[in-house]
């Protein structure tokens, strides 16, 4: 990417007069300052990029985008705009317009990153494919993904996330996908909405970015699928569905054949079909697609006392429906030892929190899971639903869990599922400790 000072000022609609120079990289992290780079001074909850403008310019950056003139830095190297985050998005949008391949945009309450990676994996069998790195799916991550896009790729898969109304609308105005996919609608972030239906409406904003005749891919079995379809049609999109009625019906073998894995594969194959590519070829490719770290990946780990156990690392998130699906999958697994569910609190559920934790407990009560460990006070409601034949333990937080599991609980042949809200329960740190201890 090469942009001149004049290009930048024009794209951003700024009236600043800056030195004539060229940039080939855009950064928001002051530690990555280098020659020919442009620094965007973003304000965060714990930092303000404007405090680093002087340093980044001294360390090689050609220019900085700011929302006010920083007095201790050269005025002719600052492009002043009203909103630096919006400016970052505008640069991403400019980059998107230059891309000649097909863009697939996706959102959903759960499974976005895994589905994104699975689509990338499938499309890579047909041509060079770029995808959002990690889970960079917010107001900073999406512009970054667009700016880092491989312009030689034939396909680009861009993930978009949200926690409130209007966020997807803004992001998709940058992404402008040819195909827009909604994986599912669950009561995630419901504390920020007036109703569950409001979440569906927010997800449906992704169809706003489609061109006339663009393709909207919808999970027909998800909550409020009718709303998604209605909104897609309002934007004059062609609707494709995947689910129990509409899905690839050829031979489909997966490394893990659970409900989540099937839906992810169906979604990926729907994208392949929408692009007019060979679904049979893609299905063969997906056979080798494995679960991602923190999203259901299995690890067979040794025990200090001898023998081994299987760890199912699903510790990235703890959304209620996804937690129930993971519990059902554990229940259905063949097991030589005991089935253990280590579950952390579920976050951002607002007034429904108690009800949702109870519902998970009721599901567990009817399963063949032997031991349940609850972490954080919210999980007491879940544990209270369990019958006496299910062994249960409670921890106020993650402290002491690793020692308890490795030295007191786990036995040869056990299967341990770890799942919970990532930052609220911090069970991913328990997973990291177990993996480190088992290697």
- Mark out the alpha helices in 206-352 (DSSP H runs): 225-234, 259-274, 279-286, 320-332
Looking at residue 191, its pLDDT comes to 62
- Answer whether residue 292 is part of any domain: no
Would you say residue 189 has pLDDT above 70?
no
Neighbours of 6 (CB within 10 A): 11
Q: How confident is the model at residue 188 (pLDDT cuts 50, 70, 90)?
A: low
CATH of the domain at 32: 3.40.1390.10
What gap in Å lies between CA 420 and CA 402, rounded to an integer? 15
Q: Note whether residue 88 is domain-resident.
A: no
Given pLDDT bands bounded at 50, 70 and 90, which one contains residue 438?
low
Tokens of 255: 């490394």
Same-domain pairing of 344 and 395:
yes
Q: Within 13 Å, how many C-alpha atoms sit on residue 33's CB side?
A: 19
Choose one of 26, 46, 81: the last residue of a domain.
Answer: 81
Considering the domain architecture, whether residues 232 and 332 belong to the same structural domain is answered as no
Closest CA to 285 of 313, 251, 249: 251
Residue 245 resides in a domain: yes
What are the Cα distances from residue 39, in Å, to 31, 146, 183? 10, 16, 34
Identify whether 360 is part of a domain: yes
Domain boundary among 81, 109, 130: 81
274 and 346 fall within a common domain = no
Q: Which residues contact 7 (CB under 8 A, 6 or more apart)?
A: none
Partners of 310 in the β-ladder: 300, 415
Are 13 and 61 contained in the same domain?
A: yes
Query: How many domains, in total, are found in the chain?
Result: 3
Instruction: Tell me the residue range of the domain where 107 lies.
Output: 99-286
Give the CATH number for residue 331. 3.90.190.20
Q: From 48, 81, 114, give the residue that closes a domain.
A: 81
The mean pLDDT of 8-26, rounded to a whole number, is 95
- Chain-centroid distance of CA 369 in Å reads 28
Q: Is the pLDDT of residue 317 over 90?
A: no
Residue 194 pLDDT level (bands cut at 50, 70, 90): low
Q: Per the domain annotation, does 92 fall within a domain?
A: no
Nearest to 103 by CA among 170, 175, 208, 181: 175
Q: Could you tell me if 313 and 297 are in contact, meaning their C-beta atoms sit under 8 angstroms apart?
A: yes
Q: What pLDDT sits at residue 346?
A: 85
Mean pLDDT of 85-106: 97
Same-domain check for residues 106 and 54: no
pLDDT number for residue 22: 95
Let me know whether 355 and 207 are in one domain. Answer: no
The rounded percent of the chain whose pLDDT value lies above 90 is 74
- Say yes or no: 139 and 274 in one domain: yes
* Buried b / exposed e along 19-43 (16+ C-beta atoms within 10 A): eeeebebbbbebeebeeebbbbbbe
Choose between 190 and 226: higher pLDDT: 226
Same domain flag for 233 and 323: no
Contacts of 195 (CB under 8 A, 6+ apart): none
What residue spans of 59-140 are helical by DSSP H? 84-98, 112-123
Same domain (yes/no): 24, 117: no
Residues 363 and 424 in one domain: yes
Q: For strand 78-80 and strand 129-131, is the pairing parallel, antiparallel, or unpaired?
A: unpaired
The per-residue pLDDT for range 372-406, each reduced to its tens digit, is: 999 999 999 999 999 999 999 999 998 999 999 99
Q: Could you report the per-residue pLDDT of 258-283, keeping only the tens digit for each?
A: 788 899 999 999 999 999 999 999 99
pLDDT at residue number 347: 79
From 278, 298, 253, 288, select the one nearest 117 (Cα to Cα). 288
Q: Report the alpha-carbon distance of residue 218 to residue 238 in Å, rounded.
A: 11
Per residue in 117-135, pLDDT (tens digit) is 999 999 999 999 999 987 7
């Amino acid at each position: 990417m090469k942009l001149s000072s004049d290009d930048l000022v024009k794209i951003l609609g700024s009236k600043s007069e800056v030195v004539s120079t060229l940039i080939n990289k855009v950064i928001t992290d002051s530690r990555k300052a280098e020659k020919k780079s442009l620094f965007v001074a973003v304000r965060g909850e714990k930092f303000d990029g404007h405090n680093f403008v002087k340093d980044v310019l001294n360390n090689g950056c050609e220019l900085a985008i700011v929302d006010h003139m920083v007095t201790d830095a050269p005025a002719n190297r600052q492009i002043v705009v009203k909103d630096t985050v919006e400016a970052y998005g505008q640069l991403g949008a400019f980059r998107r317009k230059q891309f000649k391949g097909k863009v697939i945009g996706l959102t959903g309450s759960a499974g976005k990153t895994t589905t994104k990676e699975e689509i990338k994996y499938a499309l890579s069998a047909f041509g060079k494919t770029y995808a959002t790195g990690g889970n960079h799916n917010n107001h900073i991550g999406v512009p970054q993904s667009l700016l880092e896009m491989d312009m030689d790729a034939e396909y680009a898969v861009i993930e978009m996330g949200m926690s409130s109304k209007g966020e997807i609308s803004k992001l998709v105005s940058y992404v402008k996908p040819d195909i827009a996919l909604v994986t599912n609608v669950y009561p995630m972030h419901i504390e920020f909405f007036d109703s569950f239906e409001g979440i569906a409406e927010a997800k449906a904003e992704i169809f706003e970015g489609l061109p006339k005749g663009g393709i909207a891919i919808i999970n027909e079995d998800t909550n409020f699928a009718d709303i998604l379809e209605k909104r897609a049609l309002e934007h004059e999109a062609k609707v494709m569905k995947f689910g129990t009625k509409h899905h690839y019906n050829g031979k489909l073998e997966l490394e893990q054949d659970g409900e989540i894995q099937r839906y992810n594969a169906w979604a990926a194959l729907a994208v392949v079909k929408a692009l007019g590519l060979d679904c049979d070829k893609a299905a063969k490719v997906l056979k080798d697609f494995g679960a991602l770290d923190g999203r259901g990946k299995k690890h067979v780990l040794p025990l200090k006392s001898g023998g081994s156990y299987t760890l199912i690392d699903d510790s990235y998130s703890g959304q209620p429906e996804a937690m129930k699906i993971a519990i059902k999958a554990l229940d259905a697994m063949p097991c030589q030892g005991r089935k253990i569910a280590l579950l952390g609190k579920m976050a951002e559920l607002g007034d429904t929190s108690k009800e949702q934790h109870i519902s998970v407990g009721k599901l567990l009560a009817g399963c063949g899971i032997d031991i349940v460990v609850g972490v954080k006070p919210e999980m007491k409601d879940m544990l209270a639903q369990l019958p006496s034949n299910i062994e249960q333990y409670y921890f106020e937080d993650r402290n002491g869990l690793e020692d308890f599991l490795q030295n007191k609980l786990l036995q040869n042949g056990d299967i341990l599922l770890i799942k919970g809200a990532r930052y609220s329960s911090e069970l991913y740190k328990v997973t990291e400790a177990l993996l480190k201890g088992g290697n």
